[in-house]
Amino acid sequence: MLFCFNSGEVFQAAIKIEENGLNFYTKARKAVSDPDIAQLFASLADEEVGHRKYFESLLSEMPEELKRPTVSDPEQEIGMYIEALADQHVFGPGTKQADLPANLATVEDALKLAIQFEKDSVVFYLGMQEATCEGKAREVVGLLVREELAHVRRLSLHLKKCSADVKACSLNWS
């Protein structure tokens, strides 16, 4: 790799992605009739809040040298690039999913999209981890990858349950 992202850049992108996930899970929780699925979405929304707060805390406590550009970037293009990556993430404002969950017909659809969101988060974070120079930032992003994988497992279990009992998994987007 020609350059590394600094920790500040990685955490800014992560904060944005966690906010996007929070918005989706909050809307989805309100729309489902199944109490187990609603609780799952509420729990995931809470975890997204926790992740965001953790990143914000790390960012605010981060030494300035870990926030300095790793290459000359007078036009701030690296920051814009990372922001564009985060915005093109599944639930970002630059995606057709930004209007969700109104476009989803079933709880199964919502669960499948949430699984895709979490998988995309894993891929994004692995890429950011690989492109980050600082050891501590790499470790923290690695922890987040494991969290996102746990979300995929939880969502997949609920999807399997929902597939078995379609009547319990109705939607009411309002």
Residue 2 lies in a domain: no
Domain residues for the domain of 113 are 7-169
Residue 44 lies in a domain: yes
The rounded distance, in Å, linking the Cα atoms of 15 and 9 is 10
Q: DSSP state, 89?
A: S
From residue 128, how far is each of 38, 122, 153 by CA, in Å?
31, 10, 22
Residue 161 lies in a domain: yes
Number of domains present in the structure of the chain: 1
Residue 174 lies in a domain: no
pLDDT in tens, 25-68: 898 888 877 788 889 999 999 999 998 898 888 788 877 766 66
The rounded distance, in Å, linking the Cα atoms of 134 and 129 is 9
For the chain, the first-to-last Cα distance in angstroms comes to 47
Tell me which of 119 and 133 has the higher pLDDT.
Answer: 119
CATH assignment at residue 94 = 1.20.1260.10
pLDDT in tens, 82-131: 777 766 665 665 555 555 556 677 888 888 888 988 898 888 888 877 77
pTM of the model: 0.75
Alpha helices in 32-106 (DSSP H): 35-61, 77-87
- Percent composition of the chain: helix, strand, coil (DSSP 3-state, to 5): 75, 0, 25
